[in-house]
Structure 1
Amino acid sequence: MKVNKISVGKSILFFAVGTSLIAQPYTPKEKTYVQPAQLENIFKDVSLTVETPGVNKNKVSFTSQEEMMEYLNKIVKQNKNIKMEIIGYSQEGREIPALFFSENNKFDKTKPTVWIQGQQHGNEPASGEGVLAVISQLSKENFQKELLSKINIIIIPRVNPDGSWLFKRGSASPEDINRDHTKLNLPETKALKKLFIKYQPEVVIDGHEYSSTPERYSTLGNKGVLPYYDVLMLSSTNPNLSKDITNIADNILIKNGEDNLSKKGLSGSWYYTSVPKKDKTPFTLEMASGDAIIGRNAFGLVPSISILVETRGIGIGRENFSRRVESHLTIYESFLKDVALNSDKVRDTVRKAREEVIQKGLNTKDHDEDKVIIVSNIKDKGMGKYKFIDLETNEVKEFPVKIKTSKEQDVVLERSRPYAYILPPGYRKVADILENHGVTYYKTMKPVKLKVESYEVKDIKKADKIYEGQYRTYVKADTVTKEILFPSGSYIYTMDQSQGDFIALSMEPESSSSFVLYNIVPVTDKNQIHIYRAMDNLNIKELDVTTK
């Protein structure tokens, strides 16, 4: 299957997770890689166009929670079009603030809303500082006049205050907040999702930083290479997403964002993860997956226009910090102005995409024509050339690499969209999670016998390593039609909701974001999965049910 093909002709770079090993600390919490002095010619200092707490040549640490809150309170007090709310608290009790920008301090639902969030990962400080920079810019009257007549804006500058304090990627737990956007196990993601569902933003921008150190690239060049691009970007890549939404993200927002970076002497391209090699097989760049546990994809499946923004920065402490923050600011300004310029198109496209998913859920006749992609593989595009900094010459050069793109995917498993999923009364946790996602459901008031599809488990494997707090359960199953007597209190999740695709990916056991995979719905001792697919219209009005 081909999913919304894009051009990757420009040189691209990618994300590489990990901390560096060279021991010259720039913060009390991290050893950092020291860049060669010659790179000053490539990553020239830029003057930040706004003031933020952390951009100060004499500062040796990054913006603390206290400094951030003082900064935000000062801005809010001075501006009638900005208000601030504490939307929740971290695991260690730190405040998670959100700022709201609207004309005359009133959100107009006829305008699209843009959501910007920073620092899901605590060791990515420029992602948070860049959001503070855009808050500073938006406090200026001229920017408000230009934007707020066309759009509303919500900004969460620091999603992970505990990780920021500890200067580590994960939360205090130490689960990764950006791997918790399906199961919502953490207070931080619960707070985000509650606010998100309340306002239903049309555009989501998620700020991060990627690794700037050479460990993963040792097989490239004679002495290795370093990442080159200031900014990497990627829209949601779940293959079920509307092509019209992807088109706005890729061909308007990201394309213009790259152009605006270039005008400031900054560079931008598409976001990739890297696959390190210890042998001489081709070094591989993989565009990040469409997994719904990741914020970029979970927000995209609402549906919304959802874009990841990553600046180079992990592992280099405060080096190039002003440049990194200015890179974030440049992209955010570009996105905001483009959404304002195309406000009607953005609003109408997202509304249409949401309505299309709802209508698919109401259609119980053309099951063979409407399938949800459950498992897919990103496409191998063969060899290409991409830009890195050659550590032998300290120059930007193109190197041969293999490229795999998630903008084109091969379907491994797809299933017909059901009318509803049904679970027995014992699965209250699933109901709580999906309710937090804004999903509505019905509960049966008395026993009812229904014809449904059930899962017949063909293969089951338990992971031998823990991942995000769970030993994941990998299942392969077929579906068989049965009549099941459902007890009073059973849950019915109809698919006539804008998050219908997300519901399916949560329920289908083979999905990489499935409740079965993460043991929220366990496989029983008899290899049963108590999730059922109602393929025919249940005539809900004729059933004895309550609505939630």
Structure 2
Amino acid sequence: MTLLPPTPGRPGRTVRFSDLAALRCAPALVAAALLAACSSTPLPPWPTQTPAGSSPRPARVVPAPLGGPQASQEAEAGAVTVTPIPPGSGPAEAAATPLVAGAAALEARFPAPAVRYDTPGLADGRRAFTTNAELEQWLRHWAANRSGSTRMQVLDIGRSQRGTPLLALVATRARGTDVAALEDSGRPTVLLIGQQHGDEPASAEALLIVARELAPGGLLEPMLEAINVIVVPRANPDGSEAGQHLLANGVDLDRDHLLLATPEAQALARLVRNYRPIAVVDAHEHAVAGPLLERHGVLPRADLMIGHATTPNLPEFMVKAAREWYEAPMARALDTAGLRQEPYHAFPTGQPTAQRLSTGSTEAADARNVNGLKNAVSLMITSRGADLDRMHLQRRVHAHVTALSSALRSTVERAADLEAVRSYEARDTASQACRGELVVRARGTALQRELLAIDPQTGLDRPLHLQWDSTQELEPVTRRARPCGYWLSAGAAAAIERLRLLGVQMLRVAEPGAVLADSYEQVGAGAGAQMQLSLRRGLVDVPEGSYYVPLSQPLANLVVAALEPDTDGSYLSHRLIGHLSDALRVMGHPSLVFEEMD
């Protein structure tokens, strides 16, 4: 089999949203931008607010049974109960961070919400958060609650390093819950991920609430008329059990979505590859007593920060959709709920003396950036409170539930628009092979901005004027001509395996041949992103059994992030590719004989 060249006639990069809108909107609306809704679906409000002056409305208390020899007959019969877990008998408990002198003033800034959420970990009398066993029982209980056309299925997507099941819940009105059924439904799929970091429990508790409300009779169930939803409440069960940030082997899961060195990251990659979600929301928490307090003596004021993907070569219209279709409505929903929100920002990790805030990493390593390179709307939301133990827990969960349900609602309202934009971006990305330039490395734009924070002594706002690296507008540092694809030696099998997990298409060379290619040569010292390279073009013989990774495919920009040797996430610098000579940039359509890979 020979490789066909990219599709000719690529639309120009000046195509506007209004041009895309004409493909599907009524003639009277052709002039409206695609980012203006052609229609919307009425949905029930979520969560229901309690009138001012009344007591909080208790949510339906239907947590999972704890199981074990002391389970009641009522629980065994299927009526779900919760038993308080005394301190010390559940997962490791973190000590609450002291809020220094102005604790009372700070409490007034973060009152409890007008709704009360209930999961096993939020039950009265609890000290421990929802355990891994309770989480599984909760998901299986609601998956078994069948009614009408709604189908729910618990997927065992893998095992953690300590053998705990990694679980996802599929909620749909398709004919089944398998990949083919969801694909045939014509409805886009949304993936919600929680607790990649084990010491960020509010995200998992909130996703258990979302899972329940997607079940028959739940407030979010009507959304399944238009979308499918997959919920992964806890991506790091080992870290949750130990009360630690990282995975059992000390790896940060959220930095492993390109390398896929851990079974937890591989499980999430397979899930995304198979179900192809059009939107991915990754829920986190951040510390209150963090760098702002250490460096400037103030505390963060936002209940939730929101950020989209910020790495080079992202599909520009999907990023625009993330900003206008998701982030803006999410901010309005949080404001309406009385919750403060801000665009995501943080001090760069690994730089303890850094004084510049960043709006996100440019590295293709975290879930937000990798899923953005997969042509999905990719968001990270992070609530305040990773170091608060159970303090303000209901409010933290409320912030997540409000934001997550807003993301689901946005997908319902923009389902057809999203499919049109993703289809365009997939074709456009594939058609760029052999053309123009790509960005290997980029940095944020330097800005000066005011940040409102909280004075811990008084509880009042205090403005800070700080320098920012805005990664929402990237400045290219290194550019190169975009190749037609990459050749990899047979010795790069580890890289091939990871690329296939990510969903990348590739071919195996069936007969020896030659390709016009640029080979890499290192100039001077340096490694990884600091590596200095020169390129040398020539006709190169390639043997049978080696591989070709074409860029004439929708995931081309993900391939670039992995295979250019001097990107931040380079497979070469992380030793998935042994030597510079094991990779070539193929600069002309190869005249080779290929065989498809299983």
TM-score by length of 1: 0.87
**Contact 1:373/1:414 (<8 A) preserved:** yes
Find the aligned partners of 1:57 and 1:34 in 2 and give their Cα distance: 23
Find the aligned partners of 1:76 and 1:437 in 2 and give their Cα distance: 28
Q: Which has the higher strand share?
A: 1
Pick from 191, 195, 201 the counterpart of residue 115 of structure 1: 191
Q: Is residue 2:531 matched to residue 1:475?
A: yes
Find the aligned partners of 1:38 and 1:292 in 2 and give their Cα distance: 40
Equivalent position SS for 2:195:
coil
Q: Is residue 2:343 matched to residue 1:270?
A: yes
Q: Is residue 2:419 matched to residue 1:347?
A: yes
CA shift digits 1:421-452 (9 cap, x unpaired): 00111111111111111112111223222221
Q: Is residue 2:256 matched to residue 1:180?
A: yes
Q: Is residue 2:485 matched to residue 1:420?
A: yes
Superposition deviation, residue 218 in structure 1: 3.6
Q: Is residue 2:328 matched to residue 1:255?
A: yes
Q: Is residue 2:151 matched to residue 1:151?
A: no
Q: Superposition pairs for residues 125-524 of structure 1, below 5 Å?
A: 125-141=201-217, 143=219, 146-214=222-290, 216-220=292-296, 224-274=297-347, 283-361=355-433, 364=434, 367=435, 370-382=436-448, 384-461=449-526, 474-523=530-579
Superposition deviation, residue 193 in structure 1: 0.8
Equivalent position SS for 1:92:
coil
Equivalent position SS for 1:290:
coil
Superposition deviation, residue 215 in structure 1: 5.1
**Contact 1:475/1:510 (<8 A) preserved:** yes
CA shift digits 1:237-296 (9 cap, x unpaired): 1231122111111122111111111111111111111259999x9943211123111110
Distance 1:135 1:484, change over 3 A: same
**Contact 1:214/1:225 (<8 A) preserved:** no
Find the aligned partners of 1:446 and 1:219 in 2 and give their Cα distance: 61
Match of 1:88 in 2: 158
Superposition deviation, residue 89 in structure 1: 0.5
CA shift digits 1:197-237 (9 cap, x unpaired): 111110000010011115543442xxx11111000010111
Equivalent position SS for 1:291:
coil
Equivalent position SS for 1:137:
helix
Distance 1:378 1:103, change over 3 A: same
Q: Which amino acid aligns with 1:217?
A: L
**Contact 1:305/1:350 (<8 A) preserved:** no
Distance 1:441 1:276, change over 3 A: closer
Distance 1:411 1:39, change over 3 A: same
Superposition deviation, residue 154 in structure 1: 0.8
**Contact 2:214/2:221 (<8 A) preserved:** no
**Contact 1:450/1:485 (<8 A) preserved:** yes
Equivalent position SS for 2:259:
coil
Distance 1:282 1:181, change over 3 A: closer
TM-score by length of 2: 0.80
Superposition deviation, residue 34 in structure 1: 2.1
Match of 1:32 in 2: 96
Match of 2:583 in 1: 531
Equivalent position SS for 1:426:
helix
Find the aligned partners of 1:167 and 1:219 in 2 and give their Cα distance: 26
**Contact 2:305/2:381 (<8 A) preserved:** yes
Superposition deviation, residue 311 in structure 1: 0.4
Please say which of residues 108-117 and 314-323 is displaced more in the overlay: 108-117
Q: Which amino acid aligns with 2:111?
A: K
**Contact 1:455/1:478 (<8 A) preserved:** yes
Superposition deviation, residue 545 in structure 1: 3.6
Distance 1:68 1:544, change over 3 A: closer
Q: Which amino acid aligns with 1:451?
A: L
Match of 1:9 in 2: none
Please say which of residues 397-406 and 169-178 is displaced more in the overlay: 397-406
**Contact 2:440/2:566 (<8 A) preserved:** yes
Superposition deviation, residue 182 in structure 1: 0.8
CA shift digits 1:306-333 (9 cap, x unpaired): 0001000111111000100111000011
Q: Which amino acid aligns with 2:547?
A: Y
Superposition deviation, residue 174 in structure 1: 1.1
Find the aligned partners of 1:484 and 1:282 in 2 and give their Cα distance: 45
Superposition deviation, residue 157 in structure 1: 0.8
**Contact 1:205/1:307 (<8 A) preserved:** yes
Find the aligned partners of 1:427 and 1:230 in 2 and give their Cα distance: 45
Match of 2:69 in 1: none
Find the aligned partners of 1:228 and 1:386 in 2 and give their Cα distance: 10
Superposition deviation, residue 482 in structure 1: 1.9
Q: Is residue 2:96 matched to residue 1:44?
A: no
Find the aligned partners of 2:175 and 2:202 in 1 and give their Cα distance: 28
**Contact 2:307/2:380 (<8 A) preserved:** yes
Superposition deviation, residue 529 in structure 1: 3.4
**Contact 2:202/2:396 (<8 A) preserved:** yes
Distance 1:54 1:497, change over 3 A: same
**Contact 1:86/1:95 (<8 A) preserved:** yes
Equivalent position SS for 1:114:
strand
Find the aligned partners of 2:114 and 2:141 in 1 and give their Cα distance: 23
Superposition deviation, residue 508 in structure 1: 0.5
Superposition deviation, residue 146 in structure 1: 2.7
Find the aligned partners of 1:354 and 1:454 in 2 and give their Cα distance: 28
Find the aligned partners of 1:215 and 1:291 in 2 and give their Cα distance: 21
Please say which of residues 237-246 and 425-434 is displaced more in the overlay: 237-246
Q: Which runs of 5+ in 1 are unaligned?
A: 1-23, 463-471
Q: Is residue 2:127 matched to residue 1:75?
A: no
**Contact 2:431/2:552 (<8 A) preserved:** yes
Find the aligned partners of 1:277 and 1:485 in 2 and give their Cα distance: 43
Equivalent position SS for 2:399:
helix
In the TM superposition, structure 1's runs of 4+ consecutive aligned residues that sit over 3 Å from their partners are 24-29, 47-50, 142-145, 275-279, 544-548
**Contact 1:374/1:510 (<8 A) preserved:** yes
Distance 1:538 1:131, change over 3 A: same
Equivalent position SS for 1:272:
coil
**Contact 2:292/2:299 (<8 A) preserved:** no
Q: Which amino acid aligns with 2:347?
A: S
Equivalent position SS for 2:558:
helix
**Contact 1:120/1:178 (<8 A) preserved:** yes
Q: Which runs of 5+ in 2 are unaligned?
A: 1-86, 177-181
Equivalent position SS for 2:520:
strand
Please say which of residues 330-339 and 211-220 is displaced more in the overlay: 211-220
Q: Which amino acid aligns with 1:71?
A: W
Identity of aligned residues (%): 25
Superposition deviation, residue 412 in structure 1: 0.7
Find the aligned partners of 2:163 and 2:569 in 1 and give their Cα distance: 28
Q: Which amino acid aligns with 2:473?
A: E
Find the aligned partners of 1:176 and 1:147 in 2 and give their Cα distance: 33
Superposition deviation, residue 530 in structure 1: 1.9
Distance 1:449 1:66, change over 3 A: same
Find the aligned partners of 2:586 and 2:153 in 1 and give their Cα distance: 45
Cα RMSD after superposing both structures = 2.4
